[in-house]
Structure 1
Amino acid sequence: MKCPYCGHEESKVVDSRSTEDDMSIRRRRECLKCTKRYTTYEKVEDIPVLIIKKDSSREYFDKSKIINGLLKACQKRPVSRMQIETIADNIEKQLSNQMLTEVKSDYIGEMIMENLKSIDDVAYVRFASVYRQFKDINTFMEEIKNLMINK
């Protein structure tokens, strides 16, 4: 880290502490040449995840889109906002932990459905109907039968 005053590359850390949000570390440094002090911040580097959509276009991962889809599927169902946000957070963490830079939207859709299945059957079928683009009542019935068999 170069000193902002003299450009010298060596410094010593005088003080370190977490920021209020615990997302970065604030460090007070002292230049070993000019002895002036300055502050640096250290944080984890976020690697943006690109979502490969069905039409092969790509866009940045957006957790709010998952939350909005879940809110629609869970409308008038006994599913709390906290449960919805937990699902979205878990999916975001899974993607981050897998260190993937690109993910197919199908993969995320399956992750959402797997989470919904354990929370609310009706919300699961609602989400599946949009996600899998059910064409008729028979497709609905097949999904419901599969859900009942696996319970």
Structure 2
Amino acid sequence: MHCPYCNATETKVIDSRLAAEGAQVRRRRQCNSCEERFTTFEMVEVVMPRIVKESGKIEPYDGDKLRRSIMLPLQKRPISIDETDGMISRIEKRIRQMGEREISSKQLGEVVMTELKEVDDVAYVRFASVYRDFQDIEAFQQELASIRPECEK
């Protein structure tokens, strides 16, 4: 591991912890040359299925795009980065468990909506309003009515 400060190749691990619900290992490192400390994250590299868009276009899975699409509805919500990372890990795990080489963007969207609904109702409605392309207040009200009974439990 190269030091991000002096580019030396010799570093030592000071501390290791699991992160993102065990999907990553967080390592605190120290450079042997300049003695600066930095953090690295390790995770298993897996092959994700390709995404088939509604237009028929096929794109490679993009974890950064998934993160961006989840972070938007979570803006200004009381959800920690660790919770967000855990949610993304669960989404990716569910996608891999489908065992398909290609999945539709609709399937991916449904998995994201399921996770958001578990984590935060407001973020879920925000995502659903864009994903399901609500055209009027009636569509919003129907979606709210579908989650309201769950909130009252």
Q: Residues 45 and 74 (structure 1 numbering): CA distance in 2 closer, same or farther, change over 3 Å?
A: closer
| 1:55-112 Cα deviation digits (max 9, x unpaired) | 1111011111111011100000111122122111112122223321000111111111
The residue that corresponds to 2:143 in the other structure is 143
The residue that corresponds to 2:118 in the other structure is 118
| 1:104-149 Cα deviation digits (max 9, x unpaired) | 1111111111111111110000000011111111101110011102
Once residues 100 and 148 of structure 1 are traced to their aligned partners in structure 2, the CA distance between those partners, rounded to angstroms, is 34
Q: Residues 45 and 142 (structure 1 numbering): CA distance in 2 closer, same or farther, change over 3 Å?
A: closer
Q: Compare CA radii of gyration and give the structure with the larger one.
A: 1
TM-score by structure 1 length? 0.66
The residue that corresponds to 1:94 in the other structure is 94
Structure 1 gap segments, 5+ residues each: 1-20, 23-43
Q: Secondary structure at the match of 1:118?
A: helix
Q: How does 1:1-150 map to 2 (within 5 A)?
A: 46-150=46-150
Q: Residues 46 and 77 (structure 1 numbering): CA distance in 2 closer, same or farther, change over 3 Å?
A: closer
One-letter amino acid of the counterpart of residue 108, structure 1: L
Q: How many residues in Structure 1 have an aligned counterpart in Structure 2?
A: 110
Q: Output the aligned Cα RMSD.
A: 2.0
Q: Residues 48 and 121 (structure 1 numbering): CA distance in 2 closer, same or farther, change over 3 Å?
A: closer
Once residues 144 and 82 of structure 1 are traced to their aligned partners in structure 2, the CA distance between those partners, rounded to angstroms, is 27
Deviation at 1:46, TM superposition (A): 4.3
Structure 2 gap segments, 5+ residues each: 1-23, 26-43
Q: Residues 45 and 81 (structure 1 numbering): CA distance in 2 closer, same or farther, change over 3 Å?
A: closer
Between the aligned residues of both structures, percent identity stands at: 36
One-letter amino acid of the counterpart of residue 65, structure 2: K
TM-score by structure 2 length? 0.65
